Structure 1
Amino acid sequence: MDEEIEHFCHEHPLILASKWQIHNAGEKNIHCYGCCKPVYEPTYTCSIDCSNSRFIFHKRCLELPWSIEHNRFPGRLLTLTIDNVYYCCNCWRLCKGFAYLGSSSDGLEFTISISCGCLDYLLEEQRSIKHPSHRHPLTYVRKPSSLFHCDGCGTEERDFAYVCNFCEFWIHKSCTLLPTTFQSVSHHQHLLSLNYFLPHVYHRFRFNCDICHHRIYPMYWVYFCASCRFFAHVKCATQQTNSIAGPSNSNTEQEDGSLIQLPVNKVSTDLIVPFLIRQKVLPDIDDALSTTIPTTNQPQYFNYEHHLHPLTLVIFSNEVATADGEQINVTDDEGEMMLCDACITPIYKSCPPHMYYRCDKCKFFLHLSCYNLPSELEHDHGEGLHKLSLGMKGALSWSDCDFCSRPTNGLFYRCEDCSYTIDVKCASVLAVIRHEANRQLKLIGTRVKQRSFFDCSACGYSISYWYAYASENYDFNLHPECAMLPRIARHKLDKHPLSLAYPPYSHHSGDIYCEICEKEIHPKRWTYYCRECDQFFHAYCLTRSGWYRNIKFGHQLVLEKCHQSDHSLTFTLGSLRHRCSLCPSVVYDEIAFECASCYFSCCSTCAGIAVPSRRCFLFV
């Protein structure tokens, strides 16, 4: 057809319009004025006022014959017309748009909609078509078939069908009309492309629909954006009312302004201090942190209940205390980053309250906020309020947190009656949170019922145990340990801070690989990323975000049965040797006891010390 045509349905000439002109006209749900169906394919619009979406017609609707004969009305000529509202005399539905007008033998006029089943064949080019999704011709079944499973969209419903006479291939008639590309309201950035199977390059991973969050099966049709790794079922993508996440209610935002948004910058001040205020340990003062935590009456030396040696208060100089900008870690005499022995997070120089406690005899450090942790706590972990007591086992002993399932050798709270254990970071988190990865959703702490499986939006592994943070519709869910991933991590392979990053990684073309394990990273999973070096890391490959994130390493000890007594061994993650010096066990990147002076490395079994094993996830 020509780029500009004249048609009786409209007084002005009609021009062929691109999808961009149509969808930028200001309306979200645009329908053809002829058949009243959504506009996904080549269309014509008014040449005088293209922004008037009322006069938009499918190209195929304008190609309808102006007059026809039908076997149900022999000898009667039916003429194409257009009307605002009418009843179809065949199906008795209230319709509008194009219709065929005729008269019966007694002179009574009747109107039949072009969308009625008896005229449906007029909108098909031919009874047998060659569709790019299948190698054989497909035959159109004019009468609605019984329920059948569509080999295109993968759904089962009653619809007109195209069938293959050579093999068992059935697809909905509506699926054959799907546009190859279109702009979805669920994905505004780029056009979505139709593919008749999940592209082979993505078969290495399992993907969920980014609209309904159910699994995408490789054998069915899919709309996708290669740049953003956006995938959607064809039915979900073409439902224009769908969106990934609805807009937040302003009243809800105002009511929930006190909710903690993870990840926090500093656990000691952004997580534990609000917890101390809720526990009435500190006054609720909306002022600088230095006024929230009293700094003038802190003891200079004192005996701490959970440590053998007395602790000393250390105050930073004014120059360091007033420094702005990047967070500055405190390091010990050997250049190692100081970690608080309570919450197992770094101690910073350049943030309030500019002081901490340390042990002069060993590497024991304590945030000022962690020093103020209450010795007892009432906690509801799904079975009513229980009384928990603060405790610590020691540097070479640990407890498993029942909230995040991570082992810790820091401070924890434990119930004497049921042995429920929770580390101090998890105890400080509220039952309802927000997360930076999806600020529009409130995540509610939920006990996971037995045999209830749904996937974590961060790591992709199933959530099948104890506790989870989930949105109301379970379309965005997080393991507690994933919800509490630190905002910043570090690794020796990169001199820059690594920031927690969320998909899509549209700024990075091609596949992404972890710099540590050198394995490909699922394009829908959270990572740590260095923008300066353009490097990605699995969260579980980094020490401060992986399985041992709540374990403080660096403790020195002498094991005479394993190594000479004049050499002390360091409790660490193995890095000197691949295997244990005493047995064939692999110690690299596992808990080990190493002597840097003589290149000796001993596994935990040979050392006679029980260590926590890494949990195996169930991936579905």
Structure 2
Amino acid sequence: MEQLKHFTHEHLLSLVQLQPDHNNEKSDKEDEDEDEYKDKDDIVVEDRYVGKCKMCEEEIFSFHLSYYSCKDCNYSLHKYCAQLPTTQQNHPLHPGHSLTVFKFIRTTYSEWACDICKNPRKMFYNYHCYICKFTMDIICATMSEHKMDHPSHPHQLQRSRSWMISFCYACGNKHSGTFYNCSTCSWFWIHLECALLPAKLLIHQSTNGSFSHSHLLTLSYSFPYIERKAMFFPCCRVCDDGFKYYNWHLGCNKCRYYVHVDCATSTRDAFVSSILMPAGLGKTYKNFKDDDHPNLTRYPFPDESVNLVLMHLFINKGDLLIKGKIDGQLFSHPHPLILLENGSLSLHDPMKKVELLCGGCVRPITSLPFYKCSEHDCGFVLYEWCTRLPSEIQNHYDHPEHPLVLLPKIPGNLLNVFKRQVCNLRSNGFAYGCEECEYYVDIHCAFIPDVITHEAHPNHLLLRCNSSADQSKRFCKACNQYIQLGFHCPTCDFYLHIRCVLLLPRTIKHKYDKHPLSLRYYPVENHSSEYFCEICEDELTRVVLSLQHVFHVYAHCLCPPKTSV
């Protein structure tokens, strides 16, 4: 019936048709137009909520397909509520007696309870039996009509008869309230809130700045293994947990940005999201004061030549006299060393295939001044601060039993190459060592600070930790390898290898490209092609170094440990 005169309202009600929301996938052209939403600050919500039914006092959603509405006033009814007769005979839930509809029961009590769902009601439409005093609310009376055709499932879903607590198949979490389930697939239960999730969602200011993404995220109803493998098994950008193939998620394939549905729609307080809850890969809020850490070392290094670990030893020492000439024998070198403040000597430049590495810290020398061997044919060079290294270290964090002595050369080693005990890499630079225990570390690992910060996990302090000491299995966020000694954020359970911290500067030059390459922590937005290494041609997974979305290389292909030989 297009029009209906209902006993609950004085005006005629008109039937309004709703389109079923099956079109969850947009066309390619529509995907290209997503950027028009990038400046919006709200969640993009589709037209799922229509109004509220005046009989059962529940919402009218688009999946109800149609409803009755009054054109003169704000009065709406579900179609199945509006078509209920005032009297019913042999109702399946109460056969044998007639049931009559009432707005409320005229008793001395202001509240009553439905005999089917046991929910307390007040001033609520119900069906009542005068013979046995049976009372049933309108929701239970129309339960067989509460169905949903959802694009996530091939079968029609039926509403659960009563309020319940259960795990939701969509998000994988426990919910309380109204569920819809499939009578054919008994395992399929979804909570009403998850069923009403929009097909497109924009994360921006609505999440208190805890995390954001400028593109619309598309709702997907599964994440098969093959797709996850093709995307290198991504983790949720909010909580950093993995995905299950059957749980729903929101994602942007352009940027390889994926989040759980409950993480994307979370409205937790920003402090709770970033401090008390795992911060994952989203925005973090500062949990320390700069005044409490005046000498805090900040990573990554600006470029390959900078060594903040060594430089911070001399920052607060005042003006130090720089000698013009020093004895090379102090550093196991047979010739005197002279300070080079200007001259025609070529500095380190990969594009010109010129390699000039400090013999102490094995860092590229890209600027003056530095010390050079006085002999013309000898290529031995030293940074000025490497000539000021202390001769001994007491109570080293990884070898406190004995003092470590500065060793320009490791006794008995061919070409002075040794394995660094802290980062397990090889070097032929200066070392601090204990010959009694055959323990050697390079000068970088010798001065690792207790506390640092890193751009990959900003605003939270990272504490030096030893995972092998507490037998914990921790994995580096950069290379995904097991950590023995590294840095840890106890608030967010975030780990980095010491070698990933030391060997990956913010920018680097490479002989295959004339532009500097910048360190990236996540895929680049609007990237037009696949991510693969320009050197080994493998697909990129974790740490990505990129230049203007064009030149990509693996971090371990670009930054192998250098030697000065």
Say yes or no: TM over 0.5: yes
Q: Take 2:359 and 2:516, find their aligned partners in 1: how far apart are those partners?
A: 22
What residue number does 2:252 align with? 225
2:517 to 478, 481, 498: 498
What residue number does 2:449 align with? 430
SS state at 2:251 partner: strand
SS state at 1:305 partner: helix
Q: Take 1:349 and 1:43, find their aligned partners in 2: how far apart are those partners?
A: 65
1:235 to 238, 244, 262: 262
What residue number does 1:527 align with? 544
What residue number does 1:413 align with? 432
Structure 1 unaligned blocks of 5 or more: 1-7, 9-15, 31-38, 46-56, 80-85, 107-111, 286-290, 322-327, 556-620
What residue number does 2:30 align with? none
Deviation digits for residues 205-241 of structure 1 (CA, Å, limit 9, x no counterpart): 1111111111123342211122322111222222222
Deviation digits for residues 134-165 of structure 1 (CA, Å, limit 9, x no counterpart): 223333332356755x4432346676544434
Deviation digits for residues 234-262 of structure 1 (CA, Å, limit 9, x no counterpart): 22222222465565348624433531111
Q: Take 1:397 and 1:416, find their aligned partners in 2: how far apart are those partners?
A: 14
Q: Take 1:359 and 1:42, find their aligned partners in 2: how far apart are those partners?
A: 80
What residue number does 2:229 align with? 203
Q: Take 1:512 and 1:339, find their aligned partners in 2: how far apart are those partners?
A: 31
Deviation at 1:537, TM superposition (A): 0.6
Deviation digits for residues 87-122 of structure 1 (CA, Å, limit 9, x no counterpart): 997799999xx984779999xxxxx9x9xxx94897
Does the 8 Å CA contact 1:487/1:499 hold for their aligned counterparts?
yes
Q: Higher mean Cα deviation, 227-236 or 136-145? A: 136-145
User: Which residues of 2 match residues 374-523 of structure 1 at below 5 A?
Assistant: 374-381=390-397, 386-391=402-407, 392-393=409-410, 396-416=415-435, 418-449=437-468, 451-459=471-479, 461-463=480-482, 465-484=483-502, 485-522=504-541
Kindly report structure 1 stretches of 4+ aligned residues shifted beyond 6 Å: 20-28, 66-73, 86-95, 101-106
User: Which letter maps to 2:476?
Assistant: C
Aligned residues: CA RMSD: 4.6
Q: Take 1:94 and 1:418, find their aligned partners in 2: how far apart are those partners?
A: 77
Deviation digits for residues 259-309 of structure 1 (CA, Å, limit 9, x no counterpart): 1111123576551444423xxxx7533xxxxx4x422xx151413334241
2:362 to 326, 338, 344: 344
Q: Take 2:124 and 2:442, find their aligned partners in 1: how far apart are those partners?
A: 74
Does the 8 Å CA contact 1:138/1:162 hold for their aligned counterparts?
yes
What residue number does 1:537 align with? 553
User: Which letter maps to 1:439?
Assistant: P
Does the 8 Å CA contact 1:197/1:222 hold for their aligned counterparts?
yes
SS state at 1:482 partner: helix
User: Which letter maps to 1:505?
Assistant: V
Deviation at 1:519, TM superposition (A): 1.5
Does the 8 Å CA contact 1:203/1:218 hold for their aligned counterparts?
no
What residue number does 1:358 align with? 373
What residue number does 2:336 align with? 311
Does the 8 Å CA contact 1:338/1:347 hold for their aligned counterparts?
yes
User: Which letter maps to 2:317?
Assistant: D
What residue number does 1:372 align with? 388
Deviation at 1:169, TM superposition (A): 3.5
User: Which letter maps to 1:516?
Assistant: I
Q: Identity across aligned pairs (percent)?
A: 25
**Number of matched residues?**
466
SS state at 2:202 partner: strand
Does the 8 Å CA contact 1:271/1:425 hold for their aligned counterparts?
no
* Residue 551 (structure 1) aligned with residue 563 (structure 2): yes
User: Which letter maps to 1:482?
Assistant: C
SS state at 1:220 partner: coil
Higher relative contact order, chain-length normalized (CA < 8 Å, sep 6+): 2
Structure 2 unaligned blocks of 5 or more: 1-8, 10-17, 19-34, 52-58, 65-74, 105-109, 131-135
Deviation at 1:456, TM superposition (A): 2.3
Does the 8 Å CA contact 2:103/2:123 hold for their aligned counterparts?
no
Deviation digits for residues 44-85 of structure 1 (CA, Å, limit 9, x no counterpart): 79xxxxxxxxxxx97569855487889799534348xxxxxx
SS state at 2:459 partner: strand
The alpha-carbon distance between structure 1 residues 468 and 534, as it changes in their structure 2 partners (threshold 3 A), is same
SS state at 2:347 partner: coil
Deviation at 1:344, TM superposition (A): 1.0
What residue number does 2:299 align with? 262
Deviation at 1:448, TM superposition (A): 0.9
Deviation digits for residues 531-562 of structure 1 (CA, Å, limit 9, x no counterpart): 3x8211111112xx12xx1433xx4xxxxxxx
What residue number does 1:607 align with? none
Does the 8 Å CA contact 2:297/2:309 hold for their aligned counterparts?
no
SS state at 1:508 partner: coil
Does the 8 Å CA contact 1:300/1:312 hold for their aligned counterparts?
yes
Deviation digits for residues 498-519 of structure 1 (CA, Å, limit 9, x no counterpart): 2222213114223111110112
**What TM-score, normalized to structure 1?**
0.63
Deviation at 1:381, TM superposition (A): 2.5
Deviation digits for residues 410-465 of structure 1 (CA, Å, limit 9, x no counterpart): 11222456544322112233121111233222211121146533432222x133x4
The alpha-carbon distance between structure 1 residues 269 and 120, as it changes in their structure 2 partners (threshold 3 A), is farther
* Residue 276 (structure 1) aligned with residue 276 (structure 2): no
What residue number does 1:176 align with? 195
Q: Take 1:474 and 1:386, find their aligned partners in 2: how far apart are those partners?
A: 34
Q: Take 2:540 and 2:516, find their aligned partners in 1: how far apart are those partners?
A: 20
User: Which letter maps to 1:508?
Assistant: H
Does the 8 Å CA contact 1:316/1:349 hold for their aligned counterparts?
no
* Residue 213 (structure 1) aligned with residue 250 (structure 2): no
What residue number does 2:133 align with? none
Q: Take 1:426 and 1:41, find their aligned partners in 2: how far apart are those partners?
A: 58
The alpha-carbon distance between structure 1 residues 163 and 388, as it changes in their structure 2 partners (threshold 3 A), is same
Deviation at 1:316, TM superposition (A): 2.5
Does the 8 Å CA contact 1:414/1:420 hold for their aligned counterparts?
yes
